[in-house]
Amino acid sequence: MSTPLDFNALVSVIEQTHRHFQQQAVKAVNVSLTVRNWLVGYYIVEFEQFGNERALYGEKLIAKLAERVSAKGLGVTNLKHCRLFYKTYPDLREIVHHHFGAALPLPIRRTASDELEAANFKSIEKSQTPSDELQTAHHLAKSDRYYHDLLERASFSHLAELLKIEDATKRTFYELIILKTTPSVRELKRQIDTLAFERVGLSANAATATDDLLKKIIPEQAEHAIKNIYTFEFLGLRADGLLEEQDLESAILNHLQAFIQELGIGFCFEYRQRRILIDDEYYFIDLVFYHRILKCHVIIELKIDAFKQEHLGQLNTYVAYYNAEVKHSDDNPAIGILLCTEKGPKLVEYATAGMDNQLFVSKYLLQLPSKETLEHFIQHEIASWK
């Protein structure tokens, strides 16, 4: 006779069930998006090589496709990613064909040379340790099981980071990190940026260094795995939902937009959650105004924690982007305002990097809201939220 569930056990089993199916849903979406992008890249390359009209489009093919294809998220940049994805991972064809071939609008063709190469493939043996694999995988052709697992565990955002790595051995190293630890995209980028591959290679004991590295990587949570630009565009969701802002941040931004405009000192609202592209990565600016008196853009960033130096660095990046990519010749340099919701030494920070015109700096100090005014607004909003 089974023991009846108590209330805590009921809560636990419901949460476990939710997590299980959430993970399955995330996996299904990520796999579908990755396969779509691989196929898009395949079709583009096929057309470039065998299309009847390939000479007519030439290098303008991607731009023409971006104009004609109505699917959300397949602009010039992402089409280039798809093309590069296929050319970097042509060996995914067997997995794609086996699992999705019946639904494809075009056949997956294999040349005689492809078949000959496939006949010589050797699998990565399961008996190897993680450190053995990380050191020797690049000497072996990768099995269908390897690619199947990579397809399931790596979102396209992970793969987009791998596409930036030209060296195949180095790329394989980070593929295996994904297979062994399923890191978040941010964690993967951190490992790449901190030269994990090079550090392991320079270690006196590569196996120990690899094992130490793998133990320090925290696996990605399912609820975070779906929060990326590719997935949201693939599902046709609104772009302003990409950041999954906390309710407090959203409420303050809603009021802040109206608050700034009501100050009546030249602010003209332009954007909320302005999406910009820097080095093939999307960023979002909370609020953008144009000041008709100062003749410059005013960029406002809200952080729901205390002031940190990296917040100011991020804001200065946005200011620099606007000065380089958006500012007209008759505009003054953009201004950044950083707002932090927690009390600290710099609840409000004005970014004036690069402004060497003292007359202009003095003028903007008169035209912009005072720091005290903005601090009062933020503190009032936090108090009213409680």
Structure tokens at 19: 């997590």
Which CATH architecture group holds 241-385?
3-Layer(aba) Sandwich (3.40)
Domain ranges of the chain: 7-102+127-234, 241-385
Q: What is the pLDDT of residue 338?
A: 86
- Nearest Cα to Cα of residue 99 among 35, 167, 189: 35
**pTM recorded for the entire structure:** 0.55
Q: What is the pLDDT of residue 137?
A: 44
Q: What is the pLDDT of residue 357?
A: 60
For residues 123-158, b (16+ Cβ closer than 10 Å) or e, as one string?
Answer: ebeeeeebbebbbebbebebbeebbbebbbbbbbbb
**Per-residue model confidence as pLDDT tens digits over 247-278:** 556 666 777 777 776 666 788 888 888 889 88
9 close to 126: Cβ distance less than 8 angstroms: no
In one-letter notation, the amino acid at residue 24 is: Q
Residue whose pair of structure tokens reads 């269908």 in the numeric block: 144
Q: What is the pLDDT of residue 129?
A: 42
Q: What is the pLDDT of residue 136?
A: 43
Question: What distance separates the 2 farthest-apart alpha carbons in the chain?
Answer: 85
Give the three-class secondary structure for 268: strand
Task: Report the run of H or E that residue 282 belongs to, with start and end.
Answer: strand 281-291
Under DSSP, the state recorded for 127 is: T
Give the three-class secondary structure for 303: strand
Q: Would you mind telling me the total number of residues written for the chain in this entry?
A: 386
Structure tokens at 295: 């003749």
Q: 243 vs 224, 238, 297, 356, CA distance in Å?
A: 11, 11, 23, 35
In one-letter notation, the amino acid at residue 28 is: A
The list of the chain residues with pLDDT below 70 reads: 1-5, 99-141, 204, 206, 218-252, 261-264, 342-345, 352-366, 382-386
Assign residue 221 a region (left: φ > 0; alpha: ψ between -120 and 50; beta: otherwise): beta
Q: In sequence order, what are the residues at sequence separation of 6 or more whose Cβ sits closer than 8 angstroms to the Cβ of residue 228?
A: 155, 156, 157, 185, 242
